[in-house]
């Protein structure tokens, strides 16, 4: 899928366009548990051949879970690379081959927050660091919240053990995102996208199976 091109003389359409350049050489420098580091030589045509190193990432999903009082669910989790406890929306890797993104999002919401949702929609998509990683994230809006039955709850370990769960009014969460109190990218993007979509009567929401060409092929 590629972005639309405007006819000659028409107003340009501002949309990202997938248009891969030829890869002349591919090398895996490091294979990790989740992510790899690769080096590629890319033919840019008249601009010549360049060498780039980037993180090959399976992608992820995140969930803005909004309750009937317009409160967004946030989790407090330790993130070692930045040495910080961060307030985040539920999220997780797309590390199950062939798993639909919406099913992965529902699984993560249940596992991390013991919460279910009856209504789902795509809120927004983004590339986390397109200059150094191919990681793509799809953020879902989840509403009609309920609770996972006690006997079916996931046993959380590692950084997820003992996570604090808090429901924050969406307007308050927007202020926290803008004043520098929140730093997790999916949280900031998701909160601002939810506020913008709500202001437009939620007309921007997409179906859960909306095209997502930026997701890495398995």
Average pLDDT (39-66) is 97
User: What is the spatial distance between Cα 166 and Cα 76, in angstroms, rounded to a whole number?
Assistant: 8
Ranges in the chain annotated CATH 3.90.79.10: 60-199
Instruction: Pick from 10-24, 115-129, 146-160 the range whose average pLDDT is largest.
Output: 115-129
Concerning whether 160 is annotated as a catalytic residue, the answer is yes
In the set 160, 164, 172, 207, the catalytic residue is: 160
Q: How large is the average pLDDT for residues 152-157?
A: 73
Average pLDDT over residues 49-66: 97
Q: Does domain 60-199 have CATH number 3.40.50.150?
A: no
Across the range 52-73, mean pLDDT stands at 97
The residue-averaged pLDDT of 118-146 equals: 97
* Residue 14's pLDDT band (cuts 50, 70, 90): very high
Q: Is 42 left (phi over 0), alpha (psi -120 to 50) or beta?
A: beta
The residue among 192 and 1 whose pLDDT is bigger is 192
β-bridge pairing 60-65 and 136-147: parallel
At residue 2, the pLDDT reads 45
Whole-prediction pTM: 0.90
Q: 89 or 4: whose pLDDT is higher?
A: 89
Average pLDDT over residues 156-172: 85
pLDDT recorded at residue 149: 77
């Amino acid at each position: 899928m590629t972005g639309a091109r405007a006819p000659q003389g028409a107003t340009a359409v501002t949309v990202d366009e997938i248009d891969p350049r030829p890869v002349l050489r591919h090398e895996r420098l490091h294979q990790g548990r989740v992510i790899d580091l690769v080096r590629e030589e890319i033919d840019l045509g008249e601009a010549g051949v360049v060498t780039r190193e980037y993180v090959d990432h399976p992608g992820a999903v995140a969930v803005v879970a909004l309750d009937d009082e317009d409160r967004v669910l946030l989790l407090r989790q330790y993130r070692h690379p930045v040495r910080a406890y961060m307030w985040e929306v539920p999220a997780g890797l797309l590390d199950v081959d062939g798993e639909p993104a919406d099913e992965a999002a529902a699984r993560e919401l249940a596992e991390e927050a013991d919460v279910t949702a009856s209504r789902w929609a795509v809120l927004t998509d983004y590339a986390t660091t397109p200059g150094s990683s191919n990681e793509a994230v799809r953020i879902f809006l989840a509403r009609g919240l309920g609770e996972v039955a006690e006997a079916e709850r996931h046993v959380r370990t590692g950084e997820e053990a003992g996570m604090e769960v808090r429901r924050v009014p969406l307007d308050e969460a927007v202020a926290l995102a803008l004043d520098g109190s929140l730093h997790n990218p999916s949280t900031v993007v998701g909160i601002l996208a939810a506020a913008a979509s709500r202001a437009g009567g939620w007309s921007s929401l997409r179906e859960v199976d909306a095209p997502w060409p930026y997701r890495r092929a398995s």
